[in-house]
Amino acid sequence: MAGIVACVLLSVVTVVNSQVQTAFLEYMQTRMGSLEERIAQWHDHSNRYSSELRDFKNQVLKMLENIEKERDTVRNEMENTNVRLDRLEREVDYLETQNPEPPCVDIDTKLTELHQQKKKKKEKYEKLTGCPKAELAENEEPDVQLSPPVNRKSYCSDTISQVNAMKILKRFGSNAGLWTKDPIGNSEKVYVFDGAGNDTVFVFSRMKEFTLSSSTRKVPRIKLPYPWIGTGHIVYGGNLFYIRQDEEFQVIKFNLTTKTIVDSAVLPIEQQVPVYGLSKFNYIDIVADEEGLWVIYATKENEKNICLAKLDPGNLGIEQMWDTPCPIENAESAFVVCGTLYVVYNTKLPSRSRIQCVFDVSGTISSEHVPIVYFPKRYGSHSSMKYNPKEKQIYAWDDGYQILYKLNMKPRDELY
């Protein structure tokens, strides 16, 4: 009996067991089925995504190609324009060298025109009214105003507002050099220093002689007792102040009448470094302004920025020194106007020179108040830019071309 009961129980358990197993298996199958379905869906999606991604990549590549092509065309066009511009500039230069004008002719013709206009007006007035018009109306400029008064302190509160005009006078000598006129006195002589190291100065009696000369064979010259270094020299008050490199840098004061050395000095500056990042041959640049002579230099101690000092032309003593905020890097040249240092910058591949840092020793002007002043683009880089305080123009040497830049000034207080 017990055996039968056990047997029945066992078979019941077995039946129940097999039922449970079947249900479990079915459950597992549906689960797995749905999982499979989802995996298939994922596959589908990821296939779609990757093909979409591929398409997108292709599109982007195509767009990039087009952009590249467009850039090439634009670059080609720009190069063409540049070449044409260059050619035009050269043609203008050629025309200018064929018809050299004396530097003042523009002003003169303008004044004559003005005069004639006034004369005509006067005649018309007299014809209409029948009575003579009073001479020298209020707004008429008297002829004596032709050359502005110079070296008056009150005249010297000006700052550069722009480069008003440029004139290419000649192509003479090598890439680097310096040409200048004495701003003191009435001498018309033009002094030309060809190269950043030589001992022979050419002296042309007048500007015209320089622009018209075709060879230096007959040009008077001065052989200096020691060769010069750099392009930082200046003729001032009948003396030449030039830089010589012996063991140290020396400033030599040379009497141009007697052709003798008057004085020489080693400046109290230690460990000098090139003062302009783009014109490495200059360690000392002596410049003139309305107030006298200045020395622009740089030292190892203040490696990044340009320094300025006031030079006594009498005994070559340094009166005062300043560290300026103007960086040496990418500086090409500099000059002082009315006690303010203007540093001209360019790029290693020469582009347009620009005044981008200003330092006023009286502290009334600072760089942020002065707009950047651009020079017209010419040939290469300026190896020297000498400001002539009498003429308010810059004698520049640009890759062997001698150029005059006429400056437009405005009063300091208009800056604010």
Ligand X SMILES: *[C@@H]1O[C@H](CO)[C@@H](O)[C@H](O)[C@H]1NC(C)=O
Q: What angle do CA 99, 105, 110 make, to 5 degrees?
A: 125
182 binds ligand X (CB under 6 A): no
Q: Which region, judged by CB under 6 A, interacts with ligand X, from 154-162, 195-203, 346-354, 380-388?
A: 195-203
55 vs 122: CA distance, rounded Å: 82
Of 97, 175, 200, 264, which lies in the binding site for ligand X, with binding defined by CB under 6 A? Answer: 200
214 binds ligand X (CB under 6 A): no
Q: Is 271 helix (H, G, I), strand (E, B) or coil?
A: coil
159 binds ligand X (CB under 6 A): no
Q: How far is the CB of 127 from ligand X (least distance, A)?
A: 57
Cα torsion angle, 322, 235, 281, 267, sign: negative
320 vs 52: CA distance, rounded Å: 74
230 vs 193: CA distance, rounded Å: 10
Residue 252 structure tokens: 């030599």
Nearest to ligand X of 180, 393 (CB atom): 180
238 binds ligand X (CB under 6 A): yes
Residue 77 structure tokens: 């066009």
> What's 342's DSSP letter?
E
Q: Which region, judged by CB under 6 A, interacts with ligand X, from 164-172, 237-245, 288-296, 370-378?
A: 237-245
Q: Which region, judged by CB under 6 A, interacts with ligand X, from 117-125, 191-199, 327-335, 375-383?
A: 191-199
How are beta strands 305-311 and 177-181 bridged, if at all? unpaired
364 binds ligand X (CB under 6 A): no
Of 159, 180, 231, 239, which lies in the binding site for ligand X, with binding defined by CB under 6 A? Answer: 239
Query: Residue 74 burial by CB count (10 A; 0-12/13-18/19+): exposed, middle or buried?
Result: exposed
312 binds ligand X (CB under 6 A): no
Q: Which region, judged by CB under 6 A, interacts with ligand X, from 29-37, 194-202, 274-282, 354-362?
A: 194-202
First to last CA, the chain: 123
x/- mask, ligand X, residues 245-274, rule CB under 6 A, reads ----------x-xx----------------
Contacting positions for ligand X (CB under 6 A): 194-195, 197-198, 200, 227, 237-239, 255, 257-258
